[in-house]
Amino acid sequence: MSIIQTAERVCHKELSDNFVFQRSLLAYVEAAKIVSGTVLEIGTGSGYGVEIIASNTDKFITIDKYETNILLNDNVEFIKMNVPPLIDIPDSSFDFVITFQVIEHIKKDEEFVKEIYRVLKNKGKLIVTTPNKKMSLTRNPWHIREYTINELDTLLRKDFQSVKKLGVFGKKIVNEYYYQNKKSVEKITRFDLFNFQYILPRQLLKIPYDIANRMNRKKLLKDHTSLVSEISMSDYYLDNTTDECFDLFYVAEKISSPINL
């Protein structure tokens, strides 16, 4: 099956996605400053981050549940796989694992984290991003759950011995877009008097949400063209987490205990 182009799959060719795309791009650029050696990516998506990461690695393996059209070369391999588990991937295989905007879609998130820990070498690191629950404007039925700062920290520390907590923040132009988006979303959700978005099963809400989300982004582009189009990656930055960050950007390190003989 080829990639499904929902609003969850950010497209760099779709200008109305620019607010989200530039934010997502920052994760790859910041990760590229850290990674080296053998790297595993969980969640290829449309593949716009592959080149950014691969150039800093000896071997880069990227996996996704959908087929992809990314350009492969000598140090890049694509594997189609549903996770967890990480099938046929040996223990202690990778120096780094990166997974951006994926964990919120994983039902068995504890198993997901344990599998990542398993395939990392000693002193290997996981770099993970996910939306900050405190900044979500409405329920996203494509997400099984979202995490607060402490919830993601607690989850990762069940396996990892060290967790560095950073957040993705926006400068003035980004915060103005967020404000306009918030006003637009509130115009839509004001009709949900009984909070059905939080009551109905996720599966019933996915397609209506996706249609409304796409329409809302396109309307924001039409009404605020320069605001949407002028947002660049440099309008985002990493800092210590607060409830006002858009995404959580955590770096967790595996530190295996020495075996006593």
Spell out the domain ranges in the chain: 15-253
Task: Indicate the average pLDDT of the chain.
Answer: 90
* Separation of CA 13 from chain center: 18
Distance between CA atoms of residues 187 and 190, nearest Å: 6
What is the dihedral sign for C-alpha 158, 163, 168, 169? positive
Is pTM beyond 0.85? Reply is yes
Query: Which backbone phi and psi does 214 adopt, to 5 degrees?
Result: -65, -45
What is the tens place of the pLDDT at every residue in 46-81?
A: 889 999 999 999 999 999 999 888 877 889 999 999
Which of 23-32, 94-103, 197-206, 233-242 has the weakest average pLDDT? 197-206
Predicted confidence at residue 1, as pLDDT, reads 38
User: What is d(CA 178, CA 64) in angstroms, rounded to the nearest whole number?
Assistant: 29
Distance CA 21, CA 112 (A): 25
Give the pLDDT mean for 22-51.
Answer: 95
pLDDT tens-digit map of 168-181: 999 999 999 999 99
**Is the pLDDT reported for residue 261 higher than 80?**
no
- Cβ–Cβ < 8 Å for 113, 161: no
Check whether domain 15-253 has CATH 3.40.228.10, yes or no: no
